[in-house]
Amino acid sequence: MTSALFTPLFQTQAMAALFDDRAVLGAMLQVEAALARAQAGIGMVPTAALAPIQAACDPDLYDMAELGRATALAGNPAIPVVKALTAKVAENDPTAARHVHRGATSQDIIDTGFVLRARHAVALLRTDLDRAIHALADLSRRHARTPMAGRTLWQQALPTTFGLKAAGWLSLLLRVRTRLLDAGKAAETLQFGGAAGTLASQGSQGVAVARALATDLSLTLPDTPWHSQRDRIADLGAALGLLTGSLGKIARDIAHLMSTEVAEVFEPAAAGKGGSSAMPHKRNPVGTTIALSAAARAPGLVATLLTAMVQEQERGVGGWHAEWLTLADLFALTSGAMAHMADTLSGLELDPARMRANLDLTDGLMMAEAVTQALAEASGRHDAAKIVEAACKRAVAAGHGLLEELATDAAIITWLPRERLAALMQPESYLGAATDFVSAVLTTYQREMN
């Protein structure tokens, strides 16, 4: 569905243009023109028929509403398109009209038309995906040592760095990028099998026509037609679902970090962006909201494609038809989420001072594991965790910091003097392999993106 009100919010204009009626018709006509050229190239169609056929393969020559009404009766758009194309060619050359759509079937035209558009759609997504990836690489590099609270189950856990968080996002998108490009490439496969997948209508030249058509359209020639074998389509849909889900994970993190109580990270500010109709003080998430909405909707669409894989014999009933709008919706949702998140990550605003302040919210409790490890190593005690846990409970009950409680506990201070405890309580001293992980992801980034 296209909407003047909602389309600009949930999908990009470029992606919407790839899946509007004119683009769908244009792709089918592109296949019809290429088929005529392929058949003319091996002598099946007179060369003289090419010009009239190609001249008629202009989507602006046709009444879209009329084609839509005819599609409702025919069951798919290729049938009225071929009829209208034949009539248009016949207006100038009745002989050439006999060679329109020669030996093809509706699904050949619709599927091949789709993969031509999907090729461009994946390229559009790749542009914004690469923009997001480059932004994350920069954030990972610049903030490899910027400390912040790591959070598990919505609670502060241990110190981490924003660079490691960004590197985790980066690693995720690098993996999904590979999956998307692989699935997109696999989908660039010609569909040309005729009525039942044998190309009997092409006589002895079926393979030659298919090869010439694939070459003309720069598509892979499959071993067999794939009318009822929908794995490539489902794989592409799954890759789109993985991408939206990955963007949703990143968006969820950012939206949480934007909350008033956390306030460590913010979407880039812009006039009119993220306001509230009732509360002038609010700075609401926008890009992350769109990404999360796409992540909520995409799984159902992917499930439709997986369900549609179960098709009967050489041509299925209903499953193929279920793909058409589902794929358009998936590309639309993914494009909006991807563009919004690329903008968000490219202009992400950080507050390192707030990150550091939030590390002190628990008054040292976050560093209990570091103390436990040090106590166990210094004393050899197997019950170090119980000793420190008890100190944490006393500190909370007394309303003072953990350091004060630890420094008065004989079972601890005997092995860890106050100076040592104070050093252990510094979040920067307990970051483990964070910078090593960041470096590893950046190495992968350099290898895959350069």
Structure tokens at 31: 């296949």
Q: Answer for the pair 423, 429: CB distance below 8 angstroms, yes or no.
A: yes
Q: At what angle do helices 384-398 and 368-379 cross, to 10 degrees?
A: 140
Length reported for the chain: 450
Q: Which residues contact 442 (CB under 8 A, 6 or more apart)?
A: 137, 140, 141, 167, 170
339: helix, strand or coil: helix
Q: Answer for the pair 189, 178: CB distance below 8 angstroms, yes or no.
A: no
Q: Rounded to a whole number, what is the distance in angstroms from the first to the last CA of the chain?
A: 38
Q: Look at residues 104, 103, 107, 60 and name the one whose alpha carbon lies nearest to residue 84.
A: 60
CA distance 115 to 167: 33
Q: Look at residues 269, 279, 216 and name the one whose alpha carbon lies nearest to residue 34.
A: 216
CA distance 274 to 294: 18
A 10 A CB-CB count for 276 gives 10
Q: What is the DSSP letter of 318?
A: S
Q: Look at residues 422, 420, 418 and name the one whose alpha carbon lies nearest to residue 407.
A: 418
CA distance 390 to 34: 77
Q: Which residues contact 73 (CB under 8 A, 6 or more apart)?
A: none
Beta strands in 94-232 (DSSP E): 147-152, 155-161
In a 10 Å sphere around its CB, with 0-12 CB exposed, 13-18 middle and 19+ buried, how is residue 195 labelled? middle
Our answer to whether residue 315 is catalytic in this structure is yes
What are the phi and psi torsion angles at 156 (to 5°)? -60, 135
365: helix, strand or coil: helix
Q: Which of 119, 315, 394, 420 is catalytic?
A: 315
Q: Which of 142, 276, 418, 429 is catalytic?
A: 276
Q: Which residues are catalytic?
A: 276, 315
